[in-house]
Amino acid sequence: MAILKEGGIPIGRMLFIPREGDLKKEDLEIEANGQYSLIERPDCFVVKNGECCRSILVKVSRKE
Protein backbone atom coordinates (compact mmCIF):
# COMPACT_ATOMS: atom_id res chain seq x y z
CA MET A 1 0.00 0.00 0.00
CA ALA A 2 1.60 3.24 -1.15
CA ILE A 3 0.89 6.40 0.85
CA LEU A 4 -0.18 9.20 -1.51
CA LYS A 5 -0.63 11.98 1.04
CA GLU A 6 -0.69 12.42 4.81
CA GLY A 7 -1.43 15.47 6.90
CA GLY A 8 -3.77 17.55 8.97
CA ILE A 9 -6.79 19.36 7.54
CA PRO A 10 -7.94 22.48 9.45
CA ILE A 11 -11.61 23.36 9.88
CA GLY A 12 -13.31 24.08 6.53
CA ARG A 13 -10.19 23.26 4.50
CA MET A 14 -9.31 20.59 1.92
CA LEU A 15 -6.48 18.23 1.02
CA PHE A 16 -5.77 17.78 -2.70
CA ILE A 17 -4.47 14.48 -4.11
CA PRO A 18 -3.27 14.76 -7.74
CA ARG A 19 -4.52 12.12 -10.16
CA GLU A 20 -1.74 9.77 -11.23
CA GLY A 21 -2.31 7.65 -14.32
CA ASP A 22 -5.43 5.48 -14.04
CA LEU A 23 -6.13 6.22 -10.35
CA LYS A 24 -9.84 5.91 -9.50
CA LYS A 25 -11.90 6.77 -6.44
CA GLU A 26 -12.27 3.07 -5.65
CA ASP A 27 -8.46 2.70 -5.50
CA LEU A 28 -8.13 5.10 -2.56
CA GLU A 29 -8.05 4.01 1.05
CA ILE A 30 -8.58 6.83 3.54
CA GLU A 31 -7.88 6.76 7.27
CA ALA A 32 -9.12 9.78 9.25
CA ASN A 33 -9.79 10.63 12.88
CA GLY A 34 -12.99 12.51 12.04
CA GLN A 35 -15.66 13.10 9.41
CA TYR A 36 -14.61 13.90 5.85
CA SER A 37 -16.00 13.90 2.34
CA LEU A 38 -14.24 12.73 -0.81
CA ILE A 39 -14.83 14.66 -4.03
CA GLU A 40 -13.62 13.48 -7.44
CA ARG A 41 -12.48 16.10 -9.95
CA PRO A 42 -10.99 15.58 -13.42
CA ASP A 43 -7.46 16.55 -12.29
CA CYS A 44 -7.45 15.54 -8.60
CA PHE A 45 -9.29 14.07 -5.61
CA VAL A 46 -10.32 16.36 -2.76
CA VAL A 47 -10.66 15.30 0.87
CA LYS A 48 -12.69 17.92 2.75
CA ASN A 49 -12.84 18.25 6.52
CA GLY A 50 -16.43 17.56 7.60
CA GLU A 51 -15.95 18.40 11.27
CA CYS A 52 -17.51 21.64 12.51
CA CYS A 53 -15.18 22.37 15.42
CA ARG A 54 -11.79 20.68 14.96
CA SER A 55 -9.01 19.74 12.59
CA ILE A 56 -8.59 16.14 11.46
CA LEU A 57 -5.61 13.96 10.56
CA VAL A 58 -5.86 12.09 7.26
CA LYS A 59 -3.75 9.42 5.56
CA VAL A 60 -4.57 8.61 1.92
CA SER A 61 -3.14 5.39 0.47
CA ARG A 62 -3.52 3.48 -2.77
CA LYS A 63 -4.96 -0.04 -2.48
CA GLU A 64 -2.75 -2.79 -3.82
Asked whether the whole model's pTM tops 0.85, one would answer yes
Low-confidence ranges of the chain (pLDDT < 70): none
Q: What is the pLDDT of residue 64?
A: 80
Closest CA to 15 of 55, 49, 50: 49
Percent of the chain residues topping a pLDDT of 90 = 86
Q: Terminus-to-terminus CA distance in the chain, angstroms? A: 5
Q: What is the pLDDT of residue 1?
A: 72
Q: What is the pLDDT of residue 20?
A: 85
